Amino acid sequence: MKISIDIDNTLTRYPEFFSVTAIMLQQWGHKVGILTGRTKENVPDGPWDFVIACTVEESKPYTTDEQKAREWKPKMIREHNIDIHYDDYAYEILKGDVGNCKVVQVV
């Protein structure tokens, strides 16, 4: 499976949990990476198999983080065939078309 993790208020809220979980899932053959509205240079180092970050150019149409979660993230989830995504804005992402992805709300 391909599993992605948001950074702000998700990875930053539970850094040890997500880092350890990522390594365990990778040992079982899954791909674990980051899907964030941040730009690539603002992604912290970690055991990530992939990083999907938002470029400054891609950010331009979106005026709020909620809007970016609703519109940009579902598009990335579909384009990159993400199976499971963890995010504090899951309820916004689920307003978009995420295909068969399971989007998990992190609180």
Q: What does DSSP assign to residue 12?
A: T
Q: How far is the CB of 97 from Mg ion (least distance, A)?
A: 20
Q: How far is the CB of 87 from Mg ion (least distance, A)?
A: 6
Query: Exactly one of 8, 49, 66, 83 binds Mg ion (CB under 5 A); which one?
Result: 8
Binding mask 18-57 for Mg ion (x = CB under 5 A): ----------------------------------------
88 or 98: whose CB is closer to Mg ion? 88
* CB burial readout 18-28, b (16+ within 10 A) else e: bbeebeebeee
> Using CB under 5 A, which residues numbered 73 to 92 contact Mg ion?
88
Q: How far is the CB of 37 from Mg ion (least distance, A)?
A: 7
**Nearest residue to Mg ion, using CB?**
8
d(CA 9, CA 3) in angstroms, rounded, equals: 17
CA angle, 86 then 2 then 83, to 5° = 65
Residue 66, interface with Mg ion (CB under 5 A)? no
Residues forming contacts to Mg ion in the complex (CB under 5 A) are: 6, 8-9, 88
